Amino acid sequence: MYRVVLAFLLAFIITSASARELCTYRTYSWNTIEKKSVNHELVTKSYADLSESEVDPLTGCSVCEQDQRTINLAPLKSFKVCHVFAGQIEDIVTGLIRSGEPVYSVTGYRVGKTRGTVDHNGNRTQFSNHSYGIAIDINSEQNGLYDNCLEFNDSCRLIRGGSWSPENRGSLSADGVVVNAFKDLGLKWGGQIQGWQKDFMHFSPSGY
């Protein structure tokens, strides 16, 4: 009996150690021709086998679910961010809610190749910052993503989320409390990025 129990405990310890070394994540690619996500798959591999593209070089956060922490803050739906940022993100969002700021939704970790060059099938080839859990979207229904938008004006085209207007409750602005709170953490706001897109819901170390 003793040997059976000992064997069981040893197997449990080995399995637990292996689980900590195992990386899993679900991902997809954005197809620029079909304008939809394709190539959905579940990836399971050892941490030792991660490629450079699967790890953010600035923070060390990876695309692995094991690197993410779930944040539960009523009345928001739960969301995940990399454990490196999780405590600070939770503190900021908690403070915003308690102070009465209109925070209706927060989206963090989701793995997808939505950036970078396009392959011969029209698929994007690089992971987004959301893939590492180092980006968050705030109030997507009041802060859309626009293209054809070097500067915000009537020619900008809404491609995701809801219409942005800084006069509307829940929309973010450069001098607003929400934007400044995340800037203090070192995250840049997608409403101020350079180029032909403006992502008013988005925060990340690069703004993209």
Highest mean pLDDT among 18-22, 23-27, 57-61: 23-27
d(CA 132, CA 110): 8
Q: What is the mean pLDDT of residues 82-99?
A: 96
Above pLDDT 90, what percent of the chain?
87
Q: What is the mean pLDDT of residues 79-84?
A: 97
Among residues 51, 133, 150, 13, the alpha carbon closest in space to that of 5 is found at: 13
Q: State yes or no: pLDDT of 77 exceeds 90.
A: yes
Amino acid type, 168: N
Residues 166, 142 contacting (CB under 8 angstroms): no
pLDDT at 158 (0 to 100) = 97
Judged on CB neighbours under 10 Å (0-12, 13-18, 19+), 63 is buried
Q: State yes or no: pLDDT of 4 exceeds 70.
A: no
Query: Residue 142 half-sphere exposure, CB side, CA atoms within 13 Å?
Result: 16
Confidence of residue 2 (pLDDT cuts 50, 70, 90): very low
Question: Each residue of 142-189: pLDDT tens digit?
Answer: 999 999 999 999 999 999 999 999 999 999 999 999 999 999 999 999
Q: How many CB atoms lie within 10 A of CB 146?
A: 21
Average pLDDT of the chain to the nearest whole number: 90
Could you identify the residue written with the tokens 């679900």? 26
Q: 3-state secondary structure string, the chain?
A: CHHHHHHHHHHHHHHHHHHHHEEEEEEEEEECCCCEEEEEEEEEEEHHHCCHHHECCCCCCECCHHHEEEECCCCCCCEEEEHHHHHHHHHHHHHHHHCCCCCCCEECCCCCEEEEEECCCCEEEEECHHHHCCCEEECCCCCCEEECCCCCCCCCEEEECCCCCCCCCCCCCCCCHHHHHHHHCCCEEHHHCCCCCEECCEEECCCC
d(CA 122, CA 4): 56
Question: Each residue of 147-158: pLDDT tens digit?
Answer: 999 999 999 999
Q: State yes or no: pLDDT of 138 exceeds 90.
A: yes
d(CA 137, CA 103): 11
pLDDT at 21 (0 to 100) = 85
Residues 7, 25 contacting (CB under 8 angstroms): no
